A and B are shown apart, each in its own frame.
Chain A
Amino acid sequence: MGKDAVLRVEDLHKSYGKLKVLKGVSFEIRRGETKVIAGPSGVGKSTLLRCINLLTKPDKGRIWLEDVEITKPGININKIRQRIGFVFQEFNLFHHLKVIDNVMIGLTKVKKLPKDEAFRRAKEALLAVYITEDLWYKYPAQLSGGQKQRVAIARALAMDPVIILYDEPTSALDPQLVGEVLQVMKELAKKGVTSLVVTHEIGFALEVADELMFMYDGKIIERGPPKEVVFNPRHEITKKFFEKVGRLYGERR
């Protein structure tokens, strides 16, 4: 495990019945880095993320979180998940809990922190994503999509994870709400929160990502600094995928 590496994924395979979704994925993320995975839909990007926090069990391959091999049998999965933040495409905020309770429940029930300490941390996390006090006592159903997703980020952030995984965080949002969520993600990335983001938002990758990994047919076929992968790719497939994007963001060599 390289020094300062927070996450290491080695040769991950996953099949659903006859369909092989991950065909040997490997990469590493160091502390403070932000990496983006992009690619056509259905190539297994979501599956990859869910394998990392073991919501899905990989068929083959190993994963390390800091120095712990989390794919080893007998490991306490729940303890591991406390250190990995996960932001879902469909937010998945707890419907029956107010915003503040959504963020606090992981701290009180899972981390077993005293209530006032949990409240303090929750406050911090919510303010970091620009959710102000007037929203704290509302229910998720009363919030806009962008607000919900920011609360979801706060919920993950409050657990003080070593890495946050974002699974297409803006795909379920109306276009005008995407910006506020990306803004928060960019700020967190710049602050040094280690992040792995699956997204179609190439602008985000170009702005803050340390590396862009292009995934196709279950494998990462190209990786490197975002500007290179997008505007100067080596493979034809990569070229084709980012063609349209290149036109959008202007060709830069």
Chain B
Amino acid sequence: MRQILVDYARRRDAGKRGGGMTRVSLSESVLVLDEDFSRLLMLDDALRRLEQVDARLCKVVELRYFSGLTVGETAEVLSVSTRTVENDWNLAKAWLFRTMSS
């Protein structure tokens, strides 16, 4: 899912240069801001680096954020405790924020 969203964002990004559009409409009901795309690309970049440091943290983010799993579900899928998922989730959050704001 992360891949699909990111690929999409990247394609938008590439297509947008030259044009001066600030908003893109994806479906009739939802408008997606350009900021969403750039945020997504930045996040993807940071996740890629996080994966080098700790692949499990990256997986937790993908499952929690991109696939929308709960802590309990993520724990089940990764065969770890919920406490571990919580720890990983918070550590990932902190790590990503630090990386993205530096």
Co-assembled chains A and B: no
Interface of A with B (CB < 8 Å)?
Answer: none
